[in-house]
Amino acid sequence: MEHTSLLERILRGIALALVVIFFMFPIVWILMMSFQTNETILRIPPQLVFEPTLANYTALITGKLMTAAGTLDIAFMRNLWNSVFLSVTSVAVALLLGVPAAYAFARHKFRGSEDIAFTLLSFRFAPALLVLLPLTLYFQKLGLANTYIGLIWVYQLICLPLILWIVRGYFEDIPADIEYAYRIAGHSWFATFRKIALPLAGPGIAAAGLLAFIFAWNNFVFALVLASADKQPVTVGALAFITSSGIQYGQISAAIVLSITPTLALALYAQRYLVEGLSLGAVKG
């Protein structure tokens, strides 16, 4: 790799730039749109130079959407809070349930263990809409429809299998003898799980948690069917911008910027764990 010629480096630079432009363009464009009014956005031809306005953001934060037909109340900040609450709680519950289960599946082969693990995975590839119809009826009977508890429960369909299967692999990568060495030195099974298995699988658990968070955050259809306005996350809440007097592109863009910020921040922060998680194999005893 040291012997690259100048030409090679220039070509590589161009190739990298193309890739970055290709992937970053939509995000940059949305960021630009979020500082424009609907009129300037819809100008033809589109222009790169415009007078930035914070009106979109103020509208979102105050909850007053100005349209040609008048002022509309929107609950975007409420939606954002719902997203944060639902995703964080769902991932927390999934970690609480999934990590010990993953450990059990990794360390103990019992009758039917593979079948149970696979059944849990199969939740991931059942079409959501197929599950939703009966679920809605059940939830209405049980009084779980339009409750946070009901939503968090359904979100386990997204988070739990993901965490279970990713974390299980990390536990399986830890040599069992490391745990045995700890247990024979006078520690209980639970202490071993807490002090040896959990820290060693830590990067993997962080990576799985992050992935589950992103999936939960991006979920649309479960919340659309099972939640009414005051429990809806941003993904569903964004529908409010399609108003009778047209689509509010500026506010949608601002809403997108605000709603990807938490996941983006989390991903950037957790990047080192992801890298550590992927290189765990290189450091095992």
Partner 1 sequence: MSPSAITVSGVDKFYGPIDRGVHAVKNLTMEIAKGEIVALLGSSGCGKTSTLRMIAGFEEVSRGSISVAGRKVHMLPPVKRNVAMAFEGYSLYPPLTVRENMAFALKAARLAKSAVDAKVANIAKLLEIEDILERYPSSISGGQQQRASLGRALIREADLHLLDEPMGQLEPQLRAVLRGRIKHFIKERGLTAILVTHDQTEANALADRIAVMEGGVLQQFDTPDRLKERPANLFTGTFVGEPPMNVFEAYVGTAAGKISLKLPDGLSLDYDKDAFSGPVRDELLNRQRVVIGVRPYAVRRSKDGVPATVSANQWLGDQTHIAADFAGGSLVLVEHDRTRLELGAPIKISIDPKNLHVFDQASGNAISHGTELA
Q: Are 90 and 148 contacting, i.e. CB atoms less than 8 angstroms apart?
A: no
Least Å distance between CB 205 and partner 1? 15
Least Å distance between CB 202 and partner 1? 9
Indicate the SS3 state at residue 150: helix
CA distance 36 to 258: 15
Range list of H helices, the chain = 6-33, 38-41, 55-62, 76-107, 113-125, 128-142, 148-173, 176-184, 189-192, 198-218, 221-226, 234-237, 249-278
Least Å distance between CB 159 and partner 1? 28
Q: Interface with partner 1 includes 114 (CB under 8 A)?
A: no
> Which of 8, 114, 177, 230 contacts partner 1 by CB under 8 A?
177
Binding mask 28-67 for partner 1 (x = CB under 8 A): ----------------------------------------
> Which of 37, 187, 214, 220 contacts partner 1 by CB under 8 A?
187
Q: Which of residues 137-176 bind partner 1 (CB under 8 A)?
A: 175
> Which of 178, 206, 225, 229 contacts partner 1 by CB under 8 A?
178
CA distance 216 to 82: 12
CA distance 146 to 229: 9
Q: Interface with partner 1 includes 212 (CB under 8 A)?
A: no
Name the site residues for partner 1 (rule: CB under 8 A).
Answer: 175, 177-178, 180-189, 196, 199-200, 282-285
